[in-house]
Amino acid sequence: MALVAMLTLTPALASAACPSVQLDFRGDQWTDALRADTAAEVELEAQRAELCERDKPATVLLLWQGSETLGIAVDLTRDDGTELQLRRKVDTAQLPVDGLPLVVSAVVGDMLRESRPPAVPAPPPPAAERFGVGVRGTGAYGGSFVRGGADLLARVFIGRFAVQVAVGGGGGRAFASDVGSVDVRMLSVALTALVRMFGGERWRLSAEAGAVGGPWWLTATPAPGYTGGSAVTWAVAARAGLEAALRISTLLELLVSGGADFPFRNVVVTDGAQRVTTAVGIAGWLALGVTFTW
């Protein structure tokens, strides 16, 4: 209440160089020299803060009356129209007399900067898209099913996420028993999504899920006393796994991935004489490759 009452008794004065900051000294502790030095430092702070040309003036009261505590009161209106009444105290007992103007001006400068509304953080930029192409060798095993092959990869990254298309082929053994074996040649197309769980630009570990399928060409190799033939069929499976990636240069990444395929449609192999039927079930897979990413 004392600050408010004194603020209404005596008009504040503004310097010609900084008319929008009205400075008012009150109390019996101010000497002419301290008043002049403090006014010059406050004016310099206001100029540094680019507050001297504002349309809305700020009133600064410096009250130092018969004690070691100097009171500072700043009344101002922000650029957005918000009115503020700011109050601070400075303990002069810990300050040399010649350092008082600098300390007071620094405190007043911080208070005057409140005239600007707090900055609203800019929204994060949209996730940058990146692209990658590569090649990998693959292997799979499930039951009596063993195969190897290679894939061509194309992928698009959006932030933590990626979409990948893999087109490849391979071959191996689909079925074997005492009546013979069935060899397989295949083409496959896999569409999967990847989500980065750990890591960053240098390395990452991602979860992968999607689907894989394509045509299979089967050729039977019968045991003695049995007959065999060939057939064309197709298979589709759900795919789940993990991928570890290590960036070894600006564009080149090393990939190691593995997981399992869960068939929607099994490949069925039948021996005509013995009526033996089998199916390719869940298969584990492992892949090693490189991609060029930009």
Q: What is the pTM of this model?
A: 0.55
| CATH number 3.40.720.10 given to 129-293 | no
Q: Specify the residue for token string 């930029």.
A: 125
Sheet with 13-14, strands from edge to edge, namely 13-14, 21-26, 58-63, 69-77, 83-91
| Interval 33-40 mean pLDDT | 88
Question: Alpha-carbon Rg of the chain, whole angstroms?
Answer: 39
pLDDT digits (tens, 9 = 90+) for 66-109: 778 899 988 888 777 788 888 988 888 888 878 888 888 888 88
- So where are the chain's domains? 2-115, 129-293
Is 250 within 8 Å of 216 (Cβ atoms)? no
Mean of all residue pLDDT scores within the chain: 81
Bridge partners (DSSP) listed for residue 270: 277
Bridge partners (DSSP) listed for residue 147: 140, 172
Q: Which CATH number fits domain 2-115: 1.10.8, 2.60.40, 3.40.50, 1.10.3210?
A: 3.40.50
| Interval 193-206 mean pLDDT | 93
| Distance separating alpha carbons of residues 71 and 63, to the nearest angstrom | 5
pLDDT of 117 > 50? The answer is yes
DSSP for residue 191: E
Burial grade of 60 (CB within 10 A; 0-12, 13-18, 19 or more): buried
Q: Specify the residue for token string 């990939």.
A: 255
Bridge partners (DSSP) listed for residue 149: 138, 170
| Interval 205-219 mean pLDDT | 91
pLDDT digits (tens, 9 = 90+) for 39-65: 888 888 888 877 777 777 788 889 988
In 3D space, the residue among 153, 127, 130, 128 whose CA is nearest the CA of residue 250 turns out to be 130
| Distance separating alpha carbons of residues 108 and 156, to the nearest angstrom | 54
pLDDT of 150 > 50? The answer is yes
Q: Say what percent of the chain tops pLDDT 90.
A: 29
pLDDT digits (tens, 9 = 90+) for 268-282: 555 444 444 444 578
Q: Taken in order 70, 76, 80, 81, is the CA torsion positive or negative?
A: positive
pLDDT of 16 > 80? The answer is no
| Distance separating alpha carbons of residues 107 and 210, to the nearest angstrom | 61
DSSP for residue 16: S
| Interval 124-151 mean pLDDT | 84
pLDDT of 136 > 70? The answer is yes
Burial grade of 163 (CB within 10 A; 0-12, 13-18, 19 or more): middle
Tokens coding 115: 């005239």
Q: Which residue has the higher pLDDT, 40 or 258?
A: 258
Give the pLDDT band (50/70/90) at residue 15. low
